[in-house]
């Protein structure tokens, strides 16, 4: 077995372990839904609908999945209840494939974008700064030169935490004094990155959501100032969501997509919750690619999201 195969196996083990609570919860509910049934009938579908909704998949996405399963059952004429798990897995994988871009192979950046600028948004407490640190580690591991910008200047703890991550990973962090203009920090970070031929720039932003207008204005200003250094920056706006909050993550996604143009998602803290179904619902409802998932506290426990692997891990492999 080569290194790549071994590394892939390690990633799969991390994924399986991280989703174990959700998997156990969903499987037990599905088992009850088909108990004593020899075929998939209306009662089984009603029970499955309840399973998906209570697993934080979301109402609209659940109804979409049930509709797909009904069509599958009708076309296959007779479907054994024991086959339901395979059908569910196939239809959810198909749904995710339709609503997202292609999976990323790994922590890489598009050619011709150097430095590649990522602006990270999300409310406080979702694991935003930790996600940035883990991204920096993975990019550096992939041979990229990385700069971090501490533009969340409203919380001293946020700046300190990013500096700690920068020291831990071994990448520079550009910061200013507490209360400084976040756009000014972003400007300095991009200027330093360009001067030093960096490959990737990750900008942390304040996680306040109490006033959507202020948030929108602040993020717009940061973007505008970035463009003075790199005309097409930011190349990516990554929204970090806490998967353990379930439906609250939907609301945060809604608010941030209204406040700024979000182009990708990272869903964290999936290892400590049975609410991993939220990944499916958010991916479907917002039509924004889920790019990363957080599966633990370890520095390597942030993974690139791969749809089929995720579904296989959650519902069992064929």
Interior angle at CA 307, CA 302 and CA 313, nearest 5? 75
Coil, strand, or helix at residue 149? strand
Contact 269, 244 (CB under 8 A): yes
d(CA 215, CA 229): 22
Number of residues that this document lists for the chain = 318
Q: What pairs with residue 149 in β-bridges? A: 174, 203
Whose CA is closest to 198, among 167, 230, 160?
230
d(CA 285, CA 281): 6
Q: Could you tell me the pTM of the whole model?
A: 0.90
pLDDT in tens, the chain (318 residues): 333 333 467 888 888 888 888 888 887 788 787 777 777 888 889 989 998 998 889 999 999 999 999 888 887 765 666 688 788 888 888 888 886 667 776 788 877 788 999 999 999 889 999 999 999 999 999 999 999 999 999 888 899 999 999 999 999 999 999 889 999 999 999 999 999 999 999 999 988 765 677 888 899 999 999 999 999 999 999 999 999 998 889 988 998 998 889 999 999 999 888 888 899 999 899 989 899 999 988 898 999 998 888 888 887 665
């Amino acid at each position: 077995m080569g290194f790549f195969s071994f590394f892939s196996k390690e990633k799969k083990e991390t994924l399986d372990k991280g989703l174990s609570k959700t998997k156990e919860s969903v499987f037990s509910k599905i088992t009850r839904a088909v108990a004593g049934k020899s075929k998939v009938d209306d009662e089984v579908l009603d029970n499955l609908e309840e399973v998906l909704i209570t697993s934080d998949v979301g109402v609209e996405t659940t109804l979409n999945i049930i509709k797909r399963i009904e069509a599958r059952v009708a076309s296959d004429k007779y479907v054994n209840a024991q086959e339901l798990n395979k059908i569910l897995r196939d239809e959810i994988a198909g749904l995710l494939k339709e609503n997202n871009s292609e999976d990323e192979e790994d922590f890489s950046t598009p050619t011709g974008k150097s430095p590649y600028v990522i602006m990270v948004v999300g409310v406080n407490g979702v694991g935003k700064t930790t996600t940035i640190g883990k991204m920096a580690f993975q990019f550096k591991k992939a041979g990229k030169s990385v700069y971090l910008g501490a533009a969340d200047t409203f919380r001293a703890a946020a700046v300190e935490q990013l500096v700690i991550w920068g020291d831990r990973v071994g990448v520079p962090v550009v910061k200013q004094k507490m209360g400084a203009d976040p756009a000014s920090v972003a400007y300095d970070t991009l200027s330093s990155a360009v001067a030093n031929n960096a490959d990737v720039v990750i900008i942390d932003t304040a996680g306040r959501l109490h006033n959507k207008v202020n948030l929108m204005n602040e993020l717009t200003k940061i973007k505008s100032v970035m463009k003075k250094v790199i005309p097409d920056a930011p190349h990516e706006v990554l929204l970090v969501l806490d998967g353990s909050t379930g439906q609250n993550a939907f609301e945060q996604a809604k608010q941030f997509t209204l406040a700024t143009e979000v182009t990708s998602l990272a869903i964290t803290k999936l290892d400590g919750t049975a609410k991993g179904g939220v990944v499916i619902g958010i991916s479907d409802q917002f039509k924004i690619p889920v790019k990363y998932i957080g599966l633990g506290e370890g520095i390597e426990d942030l993974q690139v999201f791969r749809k089929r692997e995720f579904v296989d891990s959650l519902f069992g492999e064929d």
